[in-house]
């Protein structure tokens, strides 16, 4: 391949000079994405409620030679989201990328769900997108634009069994993405959504436990899809990198399914 083509591709995918804010970054897809974006040149702000794992994640990235910092943040708290966003901006001087990744699931139908469980799932998976975006977008606009990536799910596009609140929240995330893309395109802010299928993360293992199934058996069933394997956090991180970088500079309001063909 021509060296000029290689150089151009690398320039488009590079995040050098950019700052990325990632929620749910202490483990799973969030951690894989933090590593991926850092490797692409971004300075990364890792947000999570788990302080010990979050600090370990930031140290791991910094030990690999990249720039990372952890911030403890309850993404369902407006005051937390506001103060942490301000702190990240003061620390790094800009915010170019926001990955609204934090998530939680309760495997229950609408009758079994308590009001408290409904609120937790909706708040973490959907309200948090509003809160972080509400506080980040003015900084992005001030810097000339940016990219917001919301975490959806295959179950945000179709129904799933015994996951009523999760399906509702992820369906909301999908359509909220489209609305945000329309509202903020003139500010050069692109908003897209990644919809993972079953991915080998602590969240998926927690699902198995909620359903009373052994993790190994649960994962084997989850791998039953055209590409014949379960997703890896890195698979989703690569999709986020696409949306975060200039290689997707004319893409906004899009929903990208990354699920090994599960919805095909």
Q: List the catalytic residues.
A: 166
Strands 68-72 and 97-100: unpaired
Q: Which of 252, 235, 224, 226 is nearest to 195 (CA)?
A: 235
| Angstrom distance (rounded) from CA 103 to CA 193 | 14
Counted residue by residue, the chain has a size of 264
| Angstrom distance (rounded) from CA 204 to CA 35 | 20
Rg of the Cα trace of the chain?
18
* DSSP 8-state secondary structure symbol assigned to residue 161: T
**Angle, CA 255 vertex, CA 43 and CA 23 arms, to 5°:** 35
3-state secondary structure of 249: coil
| Angstrom distance (rounded) from CA 91 to CA 223 | 42
Q: What's the token pair of residue 5?
A: 């083509």
Name, in order, each residue with C-beta under 8 angstroms of 151's C-beta and a sequence gap of 6 or more. 24, 29, 99, 100, 101, 102, 103, 125, 173, 193, 194, 196
What is the DSSP secondary-structure string of 130-149?
HHHHHHHHHHHHHTT-EEEE
């Amino acid at each position: 391949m021509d060296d000029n083509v290689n150089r151009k591709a690398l320039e488009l995918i590079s995040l050098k000079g950019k700052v990325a804010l990632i929620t749910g970054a202490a483990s799973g897809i969030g951690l894989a994405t933090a590593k991926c974006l850092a490797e692409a040149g971004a300075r990364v702000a890792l947000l999570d409620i788990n302080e010990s794992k979050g600090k370990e994640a930031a140290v791991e990235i910094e030990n690999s030679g990249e720039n990372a910092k952890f911030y403890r943040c309850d993404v369902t708290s407006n005051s937390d989201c506001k103060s942490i966003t301000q702190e990240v901006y003061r620390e790094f001087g800009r915010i170019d990328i926001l990955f609204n990744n934090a998530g939680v699931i309760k495997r229950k139908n609408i009758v079994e769900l308590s009001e408290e469980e409904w609120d937790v799932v909706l708040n973490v998976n959907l309200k948090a997108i509003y809160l972080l975006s509400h506080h980040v977008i003015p900084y992005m606009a001030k810097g000339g634009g940016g990219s917001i990536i919301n975490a959806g799910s295959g179950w945000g596009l179709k129904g799933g069994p015994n996951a009523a609140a999760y399906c509702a929240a992820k369906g909301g995330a999908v359509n909220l993405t489209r609305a945000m893309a329309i509202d903020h395109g003139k500010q050069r802010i692109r908003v897209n959504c990644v919809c993972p299928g079953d991915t080998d993360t602590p969240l998926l293992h927690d699902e198995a436990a909620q359903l009373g199934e052994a993790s190994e058996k649960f994962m084997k069933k989850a791998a039953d899809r055209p590409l014949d394997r379960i997703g890896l956090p890195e698979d989703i991180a690569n999709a986020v990198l696409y949306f975060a970088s200039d290689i997707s500079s004319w893409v906004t309001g899009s929903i990208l399914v990354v699920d090994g063909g599960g919805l095909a």
